[in-house]
Chains A and B, each alone.
Chain A
Amino acid sequence: MPQKLLLSSLLLILLSSCKVIWVPDYNAKLEDQIAKTAKANDKLYIDMLDAAPDKRSYEVYKEKYNDIESDINAIQLANEARNNNGSFLVINKNLKDAFQEAKKYHKEKKTLSDGEIKSYQATLAAFWKPLFLAERGLKINSK
């Protein structure tokens, strides 16, 4: 009997430390930050499309670009600090690369056409969505 008790206790100790962790913990603040920055990125192009073509110079939108880029960097930093973050870092990098390419294109070309704005708006929204849905997908483990 004491042996059975000892065995059960050992099993209990083993099980209590035996939780599988394959994904980072859900972070509500990060989900909110992703949603807000994705919205700011979308609004950048909505505002640009609304402006007359001669009012679309890079200089006019430079500050908005920089705000969004620094927010993307902050999201990346938060993801870098998590455990089991491999997939998040890939999604983050793809988003950052795409945003920087769009920013560089505007800076070099000075202005953007309606077609280019619509294209970037649609493409960048598509880079944001996987990041947002992945963070929201972690919620299942926080319930």
Chain B
Amino acid sequence: MKFDIDETLAQMLNAMKGVAKENWKTIKGNANGFLQNRKGRLELLTSLRIANEIEEEFYLKRLKDEKKILESELHSIAIVSKSIAQKAANAAIDVLQQAVNKLITV
């Protein structure tokens, strides 16, 4: 079975960018970490299969796991993005609150 690791990684990177949107710059480190780990993992699994250290069925199941791992990674990135956005939104509300406070005390 032929598997283009680089093509798969590029597609996954785009999927992560889509989830992170404007927070991409901040979560880029996490996303790149996920991708580098994936590359290492896919290379390991493929080398184990080529060396016949794992059976075809077992190998295909591990490749299937990658779909679920990607799902978890996208949710993880979504949590971090929302966390950043929440902090920014609350900081903006605080500024407005302080401005109103000043208005009252004047």
User: Which A residues fall within an 8 A CB radius of B?
Assistant: 5, 8-9, 11-12, 15-16, 18-23, 87-88, 90-91, 94-95, 97-98, 113-116, 118-119, 122-123, 125-127, 129-131, 133-134, 137-138, 140-141
Contact = CB atoms under 8 A, between A and B. Distances in A.
> Do most interface residues of chain A lie in helix, strand or loop, or is the interface mixed?
helix
A95 B72 contact: yes
Given A5-B104, A123-B69, A130-B75, A138 B83 contact: yes
Contacts of B21: none
B38 interface: yes
B86 A15 contact: no
B2 interface: no
Contacts of A21: 86
Given A8-B100, A22-B85, A118 B48 contact: yes
Interface string B18-32: 000000000100100
B41 A87 contact: no
Contact of B37 (A114, A115, A129): A129
A87 B79 contact: yes
7 contacts: A5-B104, A15-B96, A20-B89, A87-B78, A88-B79, A91-B75, A131-B72
B84 A140 contact: yes
Given A18-B93, A94-B72, A115-B53, A23 B83 contact: yes
A119 B104 contact: no
B73 to A, nearest CB: 5
B30 A94 contact: no
Interface in B58-106: 58-59, 62, 65, 68-69, 71-73, 75-76, 78-80, 82-87, 89-90, 93, 96-97, 100-101, 103-104
